[in-house]
Amino acid sequence: MTEQKIMDFARAEFEWLHAHPELAYEEFETTTRLRAVFERAGIRILDVPLQTGLVAVIGTGEKPIVALRTDLDALPVHEETELPYASQSAGKMHACGHDFHTASVLAAALLLKGKEAELAGTVYIVCQPAEEAPGGARTILDTGALRDVMAIFGIHARPIYPVGTLGLCTGGMMASVDKFEIVFHGVGTHAAQPDRGCDPIVMAAQFMTAAQSIVARNVSPLRSGVVSVTHINAGTTWNVLPERAWMEGTIRLFDADDRALVKKRVEALSNGIAAGFGGRAEVAWTAGPPAVVNTERWNDLARDAAAQEEFAVVDAVPWMAGEDFAYYQESMESCFAFVGTGLAPENHHPKFVVDPAAIPMTARYLARMAEEALKKLK
């Protein structure tokens, strides 16, 4: 297959993927389609215990081994783009660019297959489920399929950059993610007799205000952090103070020490405020992925590879969103890049769109990254 035919094929696959979104751990049709493409191309697929997603192999089968990663899942978003290939599944949409990631990695895999005999090692193509869960990366890692991989490379569509732009930075690219739930316990009473009870709504309100000082007074102003309360529920009627007030929210940091400190401050603040009003607080955490952190070693290679493909390489603006690509970084080296997909509404927006003109450059960049990384590690 010529390079032009590969790119035409990838464009068609992108449109199919966009029209057929599947949510986390439900990517059965997507997996079946990718498996068929790889099998037709003569690309071997590893026998790993995955319900959705797969790992394909190109190259000698010998070390060194590097990997290209894509994510397959869509979001529970009702699409409003009016694209001719808009989602055919109501309430589901590829609103984060995973269709673009997959089409680009698929094209890169086909390019690499065409020069398989020239590769200085082995390239794994990691088609990961459930990035939005998040945690699909853990599902892949738990199979043990990547235990010999030395470096892994990934991308993310960013509608803040025009097509032909690739963003890189050393250090934090995407933030760590933690969800918190806090229950403030008080004593219910008639609203006309607040002195007979202990109002948990006041505790929750005080916490909401005070929480905004956690980052401002505990994290260096040279680093970024977010504490957001996003959901509150308390009471059932207008004239009764409730027994409890519940809230949930998230913290986002780029630094691991800051992450641990902010969690401690959230707990201390909620417990202290509750105790000050005569109540008590319960705090529960759901840990998400750590921060995605790039190193200069692989950024240099990425800049060179991108320049070879005529990308305009820019200093990326770190993004406070999370990415479970970070889990791969705990056991192997990596590089993560933001790819300009045309100026459009932000990721997760119902009118988010990707300009498919970004696919060919991105595919060639990814293929070159894999090739050059193998030479570097040989």
What's residue 111's pLDDT? 98
**For domain 3-171+291-377, which architecture applies?**
3-Layer(aba) Sandwich (3.40)
Residues ≥6 apart with Cβ < 8 Å to 50: 129, 139, 140, 143
pTM of the model: 0.95
Bond from prior residue into 221 cis (ω within 30 degrees of 0): no
CA nearest to 69, candidates 155, 168, 138: 155
What's residue 96's pLDDT? 98
Instruction: For residue 100, count CB atoms less than 10 angstroms from its CB and return exposed for 0-12, middle for 13-18, buried for 19 or more.
Output: buried
Segments in the chain below pLDDT 50: none
Which fold, 176-287?
Alpha-Beta Plaits (3.30.70)
Tens digit of pLDDT for each residue in 247-284? 999 999 999 999 999 999 999 999 999 999 999 999 99
Tens digit of pLDDT for each residue in 73-90? 999 999 999 999 999 999
The domain limits of the chain are 3-171+291-377, 176-287
